[in-house]
Structure 1
Amino acid sequence: MFERLYHYLNKGDKKGVCTDITDEACKYVPRNFFLQIFSNVFTQLGDTLSNPKTVLTWLMSYVSAPVYLISLIVPLRESGSMVPQVFFVPIIHKRAIRKWLWVIGALLQFLAIGAIGIIALNFKGFTAGWLIVAAVVLFSLSRSMSSLTSKDIIGKTIPKTRRGRMKGYSVSVSGVLVLVAGLFMLYQSEKDTTINFYTNIIFFASATWLVAAFIYSRIKEFPSPVEEKSSNTESILSGFKLLKTDKHFRDFIIARTLLLCTALSAPFYVVLAQEHVGKEAYLLGLFIIAKGVASIVSSPIWGRYADKSSKNIMAVAVLIASVLGIFIFFTISYFEALRSAKWLYPVVLFILGIAHQGVRLGRKTYVIDMATGNERTSYVSVSNTVIGIILLMVGGLSALVSLLSVEGVILLLSVLGLAGAYKSYKLPNVEQI
């Protein structure tokens, strides 16, 4: 069944493409392709239902956690899952079979998100806030290990020219589930929501990682080369030396930094919506629906074309986000009637969602395809650690600028995005068979 569906989704691949993987792994590509899609669908659904920008923020506000603690959860979850990755590299390189590290990370994420629900039911105020922050830290560290390991597993089990579309299909399917979740939340917004409603969402989100861990454990993985001799410090330092010695990798880091505009601009669009339309609860449901539809519509297309040229996908996607941001800046600044239109912001979030999916699928496919073996793990870990640090700095700068003008931040990020489109386009193409 897996083989027939795999060949249908990858039309023209009757004999099977096995570029950049071993002959042993080639025999299990269809099975591993779908197991990773299914596990990704559940983790991405869990991510949406425990999103720090929406659900966790609302939950912490509901339990009267201090505002300064609420402001910590987004940078902790985003950067906390990226910065530590370089320190996990020695652990991964010393293991021949690595899928169990992903499974352990998923189980810890299940416990961390579940703990947030328990905390919200039993604590209030300052205590609840700090306990939730601690749970988010545990989640981020666990996510860091799983994220890094997953890139390595994809590189070992899925051939080049099939990795982008695998990501695209998983995001698209999860988008359908996100759409259902958004519709349910939109329906519930018409009623009085209690703490039980929010904690049930959190408990359901935590369970998705448990299901994903079971599915991922079924992946057929063959041993990787093991690095026993090098010390942890040597391994970490050698990873950072890539920034100096590898121009291709350094250019990718620069491009990826400029691509951050699609991720960083989203909260400011939400702030604009609240300023010019209102803070009605139905907006949360509409934004989640917009995200789900954007994933369903765009991800399979982005994924398929990322397998042909992931750097061009990065360039096109960030260009869409930049043009959108410039349009919104002028709309907010000069067109008073349009900026108060209720339909505008869900449409904007939909377009931004399409662009962000393109950036994510493009850069993930690119970094996996540009390296092989243990070098791939080093590339992913160092790039994520560096980007995590930059994300904290740029996020702090954006927060300062937002005190003056929210639309000004969007314009600034859009200009950086234009530079990112050019830098991405100039990268070498890595999708060669």
Structure 2
Amino acid sequence: MELNSLLNFTVTGRFLRYVTIDTQSDPNSDTIPSTEKQKDLGRALVNELIEIGLHDAHLDDYGYVYATIPSNSEKDNIPVICFCSHMDTAPDCSGTGVKPIVHKNYQRQDIILPDDHSQVIRLHDHPELKTQIGNDVITASGLTLLGADNKAGVAEIMDACYQLMNHPEIKHGTIRILFTPDEEIGRGVDKVDIKKLGAYAGYTMDGESAGNMENETFSADGAKLVINGISSHPGFAKGKMQSAIKIAGQIVAALPHDLSPEQTEGKQGFVHPVSISGHIETAEIDFIIRDFEDEKLAQHAEVIREAADTVLARFPGCSYDLQVKPQYRNMKKVLDRHPEIVEYGMEAMKRAGLEARLCSIRGGTDGSRLSFMGLPCPNIFAGEHAFHSKHEWVSVQDMQKAVETILHLCMIWEERGRRDA
């Protein structure tokens, strides 16, 4: 079915509204969600979903939005599928007072952001802009991130809901909608009710370039190294004090340079210290450990241990403790057991007129953990670029193509209903 002639897109207007709602998550908070303001967007989405006709839409106590589009197909063998995006924005860059700007008919120029002229989005630094000639590019004003990660995905799913409810000629099975909080701080699916979703397959809309689908993510561990030094009055410290802070600095310096994020790419993993805190007597270093192969995570943790052993050998009387905890695993192991989920996604992008590309992502998505919770869930492009920064951008046209991709996916699952679903 040719969709372009049918659709009156609402995705841009929705996106421009959503990004003005501050939903930044907080890794230092123990609440669920980590910030109450994430529910502000959740409540707005529920109201819009009910207006569209998804009458079961609701926001739960944990900040998750659930909704259902009933099947309009005569078939009774269509698997339930779910579309998911996260509502929070990253703590890395301010999300307060976002002012979105639409730069129409982009023509390769540098984009100078008006509220801080030192913030310039240059074609040289953002080569993906070469694919946007003639398109309408949306940025923030220079003081904040934009929030396309992942409010572009939210807006695309919302527009797809609107289209499905207003175009009954688009045949589909039962569709579940899920919007999550706290994805940016690694807690995005901690309280998801998989039984309530009742879906066979899911798709997160949280990827980058139009036409990309990601079926493989990093596997991830977190590590905490606690260093026990020896405190002393600094005026009488000679031969006595052994500063845990300085020991921590030496351990970080002892890590292999070629195992750092800034020196790796493709399928290479890394060990990355993300924070150091403490005082003379005790210091802590938090690490993230990443690789596409689960077995290598233990090897990378051993690198931290070896660096600590080497440094602590020079500080008699001091000690350390290293704790490693799993975070998420490469979803490819699950998706390879359900090849049709990825195949249908690739076909949907092709039907939307895109060159479909299967990719690996040097990171994780809600889909990483959802896949291991019983909901196989690859990641489809949302059009977001330069995320977590003041240079973040997305194009109107890429968001519209994402909406088309969602609609084609719904139709493909309806066409090829499974008897064993």
- TM-score (structure 1 length as normaliser): 0.25
**Of the two, which has the highest radius of gyration?**
2
Query: What's the TM-score once normalised by structure 2's chain length?
Result: 0.26
Structure with the largest fraction of helix: 1
